[in-house]
Chains A and B, each alone.
Chain A
Amino acid sequence: KQEVTQIPAALSVPEGENLVLNCSFTDSAIYNLQWFRQDPGKGLTSLLLIQSSQREQTSGRLNASLDKSSGRSTLYIAASQPGDSATYLCAVGAKAAGNKLTFGGGTRVLVKP
C-alpha cells in the first residue's frame, strides 16, 4: 500500500528566502506525481505534474524534482513571497486503471514579510 509523507509539517521563512519542500513515497511503481497548493478552507490548485519518466518540471518560480528509485520528490519555490503562504500537498498517481492519487499530509508554509 502506497504511503506518502511530507516533512516538515510546517515551515516559516522570511520573504525572499527559497523554499524546499520534501515528499517521500514507499512504492516506486508510480505513474506520476502531482504537487498542489491548498489555501485554508479552499480546494486544491494544481501546480506541477511530473511523469514517472521525468526528472523535473519547472513553472515560473516553481521547480519540482523526482527521484523515483529513492521514492522522493522535492518542490523548490524561489524567492518566496507572502502570497506563497499556503499548504503544499504532494500526491502520487498509481499505475492501476483508476489512476488514483495518494496524498501526503502537506507542508504548511508561512512566508513572513
Chain B
Amino acid sequence: EPEVTQTPSHQVTQMGQEVILRCVPISNHLYFYWYRQILGQKVEFLVSFYNNEISEKSEIFDDQFSVERPDGSNFTLKIRSTKLEDSAMYFCASSEGHGVWQFFGPGTRLTVL
C-alpha cells in the first residue's frame, strides 16, 4: 500500500543551523502539507502546497521556513536558522485532491540544542 515517507526520522541540530526535512508523498497525490507537533501539544498546520506554489500558510510559517518540490517525488521543508522552540515532530502529508483524505508520514523528530 502506498505511503508517505520522511527522512530523517530524527534530526539533532544546533541553534542557528539550517535543517532540511525531506518527504516523499504518495506518487499520484497533488496536494502536500507540513504540520508539526510540539511535545504534549496539538498538531499544528504549517503550510499547504499545490501546483508548485504555497496555497496557504500559518502564522508559524514565517520567513525562516520555506518549502520546495525540487523534483517529481520529493517535498522538502527548510528551516533557515533554527531556534530552540522549533523542536517538534514534523509531519508531512499528501492528498489526491482537495477535501479528501490526507495521509501522513511517520514524522521527523527535530531537536534543537
B48 A43 Cβ-Cβ under 8 A: no
| B18 CB-CB contact with A under 8 Å | no
| A36 CB-CB contact with B under 8 Å | yes
What is the CA–CA distance of A32 and B31 in the complex, to the nearest angstrom? 16
What is the CA–CA distance of A112 and B33 in the complex, to the nearest angstrom? 36
Residues of chain B from 23 to 63 with CB closer than 8 A to chain A in the complex: 31, 33, 35, 41-45, 48, 50, 55-58
| B65 CB-CB contact with A under 8 Å | no
| B74 CB-CB contact with A under 8 Å | no
Known: A98-B56, A100-B45. A43 touches B104 (CB 8 A): yes
Grouping DSSP codes into helix (H, G, I), strand (E, B) and loop, the A interface class, with mixed when no group exceeds half, is: strand
What is the CA–CA distance of A49 and B95 in the complex, to the nearest angstrom? 12
Known: A49-B100, A100-B58. A43 touches B45 (CB 8 A): no
Known: A44-B91, A97-B56. A103 touches B42 (CB 8 A): yes
B44 A103 Cβ-Cβ under 8 A: yes
Contact of B42 among A32, A93, A99, A105 (CB under 8 A): A105
What is the CA–CA distance of A52 and B100 in the complex, to the nearest angstrom? 11
What is the CA–CA distance of A99 and B91 in the complex, to the nearest angstrom? 16
Interface residues on A, range: 20 to 34
In the complex formed, the residue of B with least CB distance to A104 is B42
What is the CA–CA distance of A46 and B93 in the complex, to the nearest angstrom? 11
Residues on the A chain within 8 Å of B48, using CB? 97-100
| B2 CB-CB contact with A under 8 Å | no
Return 28 A-B CB contacts under 8 Å, by A number.
Answer: A32-B100, A43-B91, A44-B43, A44-B104, A46-B101, A46-B102, A51-B99, A93-B99, A96-B56, A97-B48, A97-B50, A98-B48, A98-B55, A98-B56, A99-B48, A99-B55, A99-B95, A99-B98, A99-B102, A100-B48, A100-B56, A101-B33, A101-B102, A103-B42, A103-B43, A103-B44, A105-B41, A105-B42
A43-B107, A93-B102 given; 11 more Cβ-contact pairs under 8 Å:
A34-B101, A44-B43, A51-B99, A93-B99, A96-B56, A97-B50, A98-B57, A99-B98, A99-B102, A100-B58, A103-B42
